[in-house]
Structure 1
Amino acid sequence: MNTIYQISDCHLSDESSYENLRKALEYVNKDTKCETIFLTGDICCNPKLGDYIRLEAFIRQHISKQSIYAIAGNHDDSSLMRKELKGSTICVTDRANVCGREFLFLDSSFKPKGSVHPLGSGRINNRGLAQLKKQLRKASHPIIPVGADWMKAIRLENDFYMMKVLQKYGVREVICGHGHDQITTTQQGMTQYMAPSTAYGFDHSIEEYNRSDKIGLSKLSVSQYSFDYLVIYL
């Protein structure tokens, strides 16, 4: 079994958000079996020039050897992120072979075209949809809407189409962020694993927007034929 850690929804903007990320990185660094880290969206909050360069420098203060893959979320600037991390030790890519498995990274940071979906929703663009028809493993927004009603509202605009593609091609696992809590759900043979946030938590039992101090990260134990998902709260 190979170990991957998923760190999600860091919302880096102030000292406390960086401090929470530091706690997660130090936890990962103690696990000598970990070779890979996934950053699954909403990494920086309202980013400006230099923020993703600062991100890499901060991470490498606490993590040295692990490979890192990142995708953008709705709070990120996908274009700036790709530009500033190009050639860095944080890989922003469409797909990669990690621990003997093929992972496809879907950027769901694009804004919906329609006016039905509220702020915080996302969309997979045409390029991402083409990638979907090959294989899917990792995204920022969930594919299956989960959580409280207010969370289900800020969903992917084209999630129904994506589910049809996933079912057609027999995808079995999707990992995502966005929900700021651990929610695992299975639908028509596909299991979706949602990660907690390092910034702040959401209590999905409350039917209105809320924040909590419940933060964490996720540990994936994978091989070519197995997939285990464990959430760690800090």
Structure 2
Amino acid sequence: MPKLIQISDCHIDDQALAMEADTQANLKKIIAQISSQKFDALLISGDLTHQGTAPSYNRLKQILAPIDAPIYVIGGNHDNITQLEKTFKQNTFNSFKLKNWEIVSIDSVQLDKTSGRVTQGALLKLDQTLEASNADHIMVVLHHPIVPMNSTWDDALSLENPQDLFKVLDKHSKIRIVVFGHAHEAAHFSNKQFDIVSCPSTALQYNQETRIGFNEFNLQNGGNINWQTQWI
């Protein structure tokens, strides 16, 4: 049974402080905790850095050094995709497999905008990847929330066209879960086919939660998922 750990919204900057939080020290705490565990992959769902500078990506790579498991990353609205792909060239992905599971990404980032949008090209690529998958079960990951968060979060900053994404997702019965970040809070939702899970930030939360955290997913061979948010 593979174990996947998801972290999100690290917001590492050239300096220690970003958004009035020591995002470097906070991420080090998270890495110290998860590096003592056995798991099969680390997934980072966007906003790896705060301003997308080359030094901030290099600093992030240093902080992640204790991780022995494969690391997979997608970009967020704070990331500079050119710098991200330069520093983490071996870690970006369209899809990867963990036993009989496949984890598939879709890009939701818009240039110079906080909110997200999935383009027709991205949707076509996702649809083709899902159709071609020979995995028994699928997890889809993107940066932006795809449902109202039912919190103090401003949903106008989430995915602008979730209905277009759901048209593709609902076609594929192997999907068991969709995960994202961006909102800096932990939350769980369900639709008729799959779970929907929001990952907290390693930097700080936007709601009243004062802790930092990450999500753990135990992906069972039969398609069930045992998952929990771990807080520090």
TM-score normalised by L of structure 1: 0.84
* CA distance in structure 2 between the partners assigned to 1:147 and 1:79 by the alignment: 34
Q: Displacement, 1:187? A: 1.9
Code of the residue aligned with 1:233 in structure 2: it is: W
Alignment of 1:9 with 2:9, yes or no, is yes
Which position in structure 1 is the counterpart of 2:95?
A: 95
Of residues 225, 228, 232, the one that matches 2:226 is 228
Query: Is residue 111–residue 121 contact of structure 1 (8 Å, CA) maintained in 2?
Result: no
Query: Does the CA-based 8 Å contact 2:43-2:71 persist in structure 1?
Result: yes
For 1:18, give the aligned amino acid: Q
Residue matched to 1:51: 56
How many residue pairs match? The answer is: 215
Query: 1:38 deviation in Å?
Result: 0.5
Q: How does 1:25-64 map to 2 (within 5 A)?
A: 25-31=31-37, 33-60=38-65, 62-63=66-67
Contact 2:77–2:114 at 8 Å: present in 1 too?
Answer: yes
- Tell me, in whole angstroms, the C-alpha distance in 1 between the residues paired with 2:48 and 2:163: 26
- Counterpart residue identity of residue 196, structure 2: Q
Tell me, in whole angstroms, the C-alpha distance in 1 between the residues paired with 2:217 and 2:99: 11
TM-score under structure 2 length normalisation: 0.85
Which residue number corresponds to residue 193 of structure 1?
Answer: 197
Aligned counterpart, 2:136: none
Q: Unpaired segments of 5 or more residues in structure 2?
A: 17-21, 131-138
Aligned partner of 2:30 in structure 1 is 24
| Sequence identity (%) | 27
Aligned-residue RMSD, C-alpha: 1.9
Q: How far apart are the structure 1 equivalents of 2:203 and 2:209? A: 9
How many Å separate the matches in 2 of 1:151 and 1:216?
21
In the other structure, the counterpart of 2:77 is 74
Amino acid at match of 2:107: D
User: Unaligned regions of 5+ residues in structure 1, if any?
Assistant: 113-118, 204-210
Determine if contact 1:147/1:183 at 8 Å carries over to the other structure: no
- Equivalent-residue separation in structure 2 for 1:223 and 1:190 (angstroms): 15
SS in 2 for 1:213: coil
- For 2:187, the equivalent position in structure 1 comes to 183
Shift of 1:202: 2.0
CA contact 2:202–2:214 (8 Å) conserved in 1: yes
* Letter of the 1:121 counterpart: S
How far apart are 1:190 and its partner, in Å? 2.3
The separation in 1 between residues aligned to 2:158 and 2:168, in whole angstroms, is 17
Distance verdict in 2 for CA 1:149–1:131, change over 3 Å: farther
Describe the shift of the 1:59–1:150 C-alpha distance in structure 2 as closer, same or farther (beyond 3 A). closer
Structure 2 equivalent of residue 214 of structure 1: 211
Shift of 1:132: 2.3
Displacement of 1:39 in angstroms is 0.6
SS in 2 for 1:168: coil
Q: How does 1:84-233 map to 2 (within 5 A)?
A: 84-87=87-90, 91-111=91-111, 119-133=113-127, 134-135=129-130, 137-148=140-151, 150-170=153-173, 171-203=175-207, 213-225=210-222, 226-233=224-231
